[in-house]
Amino acid sequence: MLGFIGDAISDVAWKWKYKLLPRKKSPLEVPVDIEKEYEEEDIEDITSKDPTFGTDAVIQTLYEGKRSDGMRNFDWRTFPPKPISKSFVKARDRVAIKVYKVKDDDKDQVSGRFALKYHRIDVQNPLLISVLEPILKKENFILNVDDIATFKEPFRPLWFCQDAIRDLYQETSKDSPVKGYMQLFIRVLDECFRDLKIKRHHLLDKGLIDYKIAWILFPRDSTIYSYGMNSEFITRVDNTEYRRNDGVNELVINSKAISFNGRRFIWTKKELVIEFFVGNKPIRELRHYPFDMHPDKASIQDRLLARGRKALDLQGLSYCSYSGISLEPGIRGYTKHNVEGRILVDVVGYNTYHLAKGKREDQDPDIEAPAKEDH
C-alpha cells in the first residue's frame, strides 16, 4: 500500500516539475510562424545519442521487481530483493526430501477451503538418489547423483517403479545408512498415490478408465493393440505425455512398431493419440489399448506373423494380381480407389522415390519420419 502511495506522490511531483521548471521546448510546441519558411533539419546535424553514452567502465545490474508479470513485462529495479536468511536456506537444504503441493482444481471447495495435491517432489539426499538411479533408468528417467532429483506430476516414472523401490527397501539391511531415507521416500509415494490407487482399483475391476489417469495403462516397453486405415497392428510403448493440439487435449503415446523397408524389418517411431473424453470409458473401446486386454491375442499374433511372412515373400520386384481397395494419402486424408488388375510391388522403390527416403533412413529407426494414428 505504501509503495502505491509513494509512486502516486512521485508522479504528481514530476508533473509539476515538468510544467514549472525551465526546459528546452519540443519543436512541436513552438508557435507556427507563417511568414518564415520551414527548414528541415539536416540529417547530419541530428544525433540520437549523448556523446557520453556508454563511456563509463561500469557494470549496472538491474533486478526484477514485485510488479513484474513474469512473462513479458518486467519491473526493473536498481536494488536487489531482500535476501533469504542464511539460517533458513541452511535448514531448507538439510532436508532429504521436499514436497510441493498446489490447489487441486478437480475437487470442489468446501466453505472456502480447497483440497491440495502433489505437484513436485525433490530428493536431495545423495544416498537415496544413488539407489533410485538404476531403478528409474529402466523408465528412461536419468538421474544425476550429484544433483537434486526432481519429479513432477503425474510422477509417471515413480508410479511404474514403486514396486521395485519397495522390493529394494525390503532387501536393504537395517544397518544400511540409506534404509531410513528409503522409508521416508516410500511414505511419500504412499501418500502421493493413495487416491490414484483407489481410483485405479475401482475402474480397472470394471474394465473402465478415465482420461486423466489413462497413462497408467501404458508402462514403458508394454505392448499396445491398435488398428489403422486397413489393418491392425501392435506397438511397443516408449513414454506418454499429455498435450494440447489445436485446442484439443490429447494423450500422446510415443511408441515404436516393426515395419518392413523392402530389405529387412526395422523399428519405426509411431505416435498414437487418444483424444480427450468425458467420464469413464471401457478400455477396449479406446482406439489404442493394452494388448494383454485383448480377448483374442493368439489369433492376432497369427495374423501379424502371416503378414510378416507375406512381406518377406514380396521382397524385391513382384508382379501380382490385385482386386480391392487402394489408399492414397492426400492433404485432406486418404482417398480410396477400386483396383482390379496387375500391380507392381516395390517397397524399396516406394520408400526411395515416392517418400523421398534415403538408404540411411531405412537403416536407422531413430531418423524415421514418425507416423501418427489419430483418435
Mean pLDDT of 68-87: 78
Beta bridge partners of 209: 281
Q: Residue 3 above 50 pLDDT?
A: yes
Which residue has cell 479406446?
Answer: 286
pTM here is 0.69
Residue 337 exposure: Cα atoms within 13 Å on the Cβ side: 9
What percent of the chain is predicted at pLDDT more than 70? Answer: 76
Q: Which pLDDT does position 23 carry in this prediction?
A: 65
Q: Which pLDDT does position 188 carry in this prediction?
A: 95
Q: Buried b vs exposed e over 261-278: b needs ≥16 C-beta within 10 Å? A: bbeeebebbbebbbeebe
Q: Which pLDDT does position 364 carry in this prediction?
A: 42
Distance CA 221, CA 103 (A): 33
**H or E segment to which residue 76 belongs:** strand 76-77
Mean pLDDT of 52-65: 85
Q: Which pLDDT does position 374 carry in this prediction?
A: 47
Q: Residue 48 above 70 pLDDT?
A: no
* Contact criterion met (CB below 8 Å) for 326 and 258: no
In this structure, the chain runs to a length of 375
Q: What's the CA angle centered on 105, arms 101 and 107, to 5 degrees?
A: 100
Q: Residue 52 above 90 pLDDT?
A: no
Mean pLDDT of 300-320: 75
Angstrom CA distances, 347 to 64, 125, 344, 366, 371, stand at 59, 54, 10, 20, 17
Angstrom CA distances, 80 to 2, 63, 76, 191, 338, stand at 19, 6, 10, 39, 73
pLDDT top residue among 350 and 209: 209
Which residue has cell 536456506?
Answer: 89
Mean pLDDT of 220-244: 87
Q: Residue 11 above 50 pLDDT?
A: yes
Mean pLDDT of 37-43: 66
- In this structure, is the dihedral angle defined by the CA atoms of residues 279, 285, 291 and 293, taken in order, positive or negative? positive
Q: Which pLDDT does position 4 carry in this prediction?
A: 62
Q: Which pLDDT does position 316 carry in this prediction?
A: 66
Mean pLDDT of 211-237: 88
Q: Which amino acid is at 355?
A: L
Going by pLDDT thresholds of 50, 70 and 90, the confidence category of residue 300 is confident
Lowest mean pLDDT among 38-47, 107-116, 257-266: 38-47
Q: Which pLDDT does position 132 carry in this prediction?
A: 95
Q: Give per-residue pLDDT as tens, 121-169.
A: 999 999 999 999 999 998 999 999 889 999 999 999 999 999 999 999 9
Mean pLDDT of 83-108: 81
Q: Give per-residue pLDDT as tens, 159-199.
A: 999 999 999 999 999 999 999 999 999 999 999 999 999 99
Q: Residue 26 above 70 pLDDT?
A: no
Q: Which pLDDT does position 375 carry in this prediction?
A: 47
Mean pLDDT taken over the chain = 81
Q: Which pLDDT does position 340 carry in this prediction?
A: 76
Which residue has cell 495374423?
Answer: 303
The three grid cell numbers given for residue 98, joined into one nine-digit string: 521436499
Q: By C-alpha distance, which of 314, 319, 311 is closest to 266?
A: 311
Mean pLDDT of 44-57: 72
Q: Which pLDDT does position 276 carry in this prediction?
A: 92
For 41, residues 6+ apart whose C-beta sits below 8 A from its C-beta are none
* Contact criterion met (CB below 8 Å) for 300 and 232: yes
Mean pLDDT of 297-305: 84
* Contact criterion met (CB below 8 Å) for 223 and 255: no
* Contact criterion met (CB below 8 Å) for 209 and 203: yes
Which residue has cell 567502465?
Answer: 57
